[in-house]
Amino acid sequence: MAKTLFSKRLSKELRDLNTNPLEGVYIDEADDFTRWRLRIVGAPGTIYENEEFKLEFRFTPSYPLESPEVLFIRPYVPVYSNGHICLNILYKDWSPVQTVAQVCLSIQSMLSSCTKKELPPDNDLYIRSAHASPKKTAWAFQIRMNQW
């Protein structure tokens, strides 16, 4: 039976992650092509330095044409308390050339830019109205400009 595009792609990505591991990214479970669990570690010199976060990647047969659904797994969730991640590359700026490794690096970068360990100000409102899937949220992405 011929392998589908998404299973070929995920096989390659898993092989790459195992062969050339990223600093601070660890595979906990990747037994099939529907769900992977990874751990990322906060980067040195940041408020999350050496803290571990668990992520769940959920794939559909449309991957890589469609982004994976990515959630932080409890108990420690540094973003919305339901694990949803407001990161543009997971939604409107997804490109099929992106990989699980690149998503992990983007999440590490997002965490590295945090200056306070706190939930987003609209967490309670969002949790009350959010769908189970973060992909059903109409995210409003903001561009932060550094002030020199």
Could you list the active site residues?
86
- Six-digit token string for 40: 């990322």
51 by DSSP, 3-state: which? coil
Run of H or E including 18: helix 5-19
Q: Give me the residues paired with residue 2 across strands.
A: none
